[in-house]
Amino acid sequence: MKCFPEEEASIFRTLTADELEYLTACKQSVIFNPGETIIKQNTSSTYFVCIKEGMAKVVAESMKGKNVILRLVSSHSLVTAGGVVSDDIRHFTVTAITRVECCFIDSSKLQQLIERNSRFSYELLKYNNKQNIQMLNTLVGLTQKYMPGRVADTLLYLKNNIYQTNPFNCNLNKQELAEMSGMTKESFIRSLKELELSGIVRQNKRQIEIVKEDDLMLISKNG
């Protein structure tokens, strides 16, 4: 199983053949079924994960059981859940949504390459910053927007960033969609139904179609 994509945009293209062999020499290829935990919050970050195929959710877990899905990760994603080059503690839980094929790679090897290869360090920094900005925007939306705005953000994120098609067949259940929107399952279902009655979205089982994207973007903007 190859861990990394072949595209030029991959940050691993900045590694030499010897460096890439060093990084993946002792990798472990693992398959997770839907619902299984790939990385657990508050555990030691002795490895990082490259998702070869499939979709998973990055979750901030609370002690009171109210979880928030910060983002989704899909094929060819690099996942550390934080802590690899800081405090060595996972700050998020990563759980498979679909069947996920991935590679587990020793974090100490990643740290060594960060020190040796400045171009790789730069590309990894850009990659992590992009993910952090996206999660920050998510948190800002969850704390500053009303429920319709949060639902609009979730639907637009799924269409534009994850599935990149319209309509799309959603792999997430209503509870997971609610956790992405920072609300209860009942509140999410009610808000989604209101959008459907307004003719802005259409849903049929797991298929969701954004019918009036401009209206949905306005709801998102106004919060």
According to DSSP, the residues that pair with 69 across neighbouring strands are 59
The verdict on 115 and 171 lying in the same domain is: no
The verdict on 27 and 116 lying in the same domain is: yes
The verdict on 27 and 109 lying in the same domain is: yes
> Which of 106, 131, 156 is the endpoint of a domain?
131
E strands, 37-92, in order? 37-39, 47-53, 56-60, 68-73, 77-79
Q: Which of 33-37, 77-81, 106-110, 124-128 has the lowest mean pLDDT?
A: 77-81
> Which of 70, 104, 131 is the endpoint of a domain?
131
Q: Which of 27-41, 122-136, 163-177 has the lowest mean pLDDT?
A: 122-136
Q: Are 46 and 107 in contact (CB under 8 A)?
A: yes
The residue-averaged pLDDT of 130-147 equals: 87
Cis peptide before 34 (omega within 30 of 0): no
Residue 72: pLDDT over 50 = yes
**Terminal alpha carbon distance of the chain:** 44
The verdict on 17 and 118 lying in the same domain is: yes
Residue 136 within a domain: no
> Which of 87, 104, 131 is the endpoint of a domain?
131
Would you state the pLDDT for residue 7? 56
Residue 114 within a domain: yes
The verdict on 17 and 117 lying in the same domain is: yes
Q: Which of 12-16, 182-186, 210-214 has the lowest mean pLDDT?
A: 12-16
The verdict on 85 and 61 lying in the same domain is: yes
133 CA to centre of own chain: 12
The verdict on 127 and 30 lying in the same domain is: yes
Structural domain containing residue 60: 11-131
The verdict on 157 and 124 lying in the same domain is: no
pLDDT digits (tens, 9 = 90+) for 171-209: 999 999 999 999 999 999 999 999 999 999 999 989 999
Residue 5 within a domain: no
Q: For residues 119-147, b (16+ Cβ closer than 10 Å) or e, as one string?
A: ebbebbeeebeebeeebeebeebbeebeb
* Higher-scoring residue by pLDDT: 81, 52: 52
Q: For the chain, what is the domain count?
A: 2
Residue 140 within a domain: no
The dihedral over CA atoms of 129, 214, 57, 185, expressed in degrees to the nearest 10, equals 130
Residue 6 within a domain: no
Q: What is the CATH number of the domain that holds 188?
A: 1.10.10.10
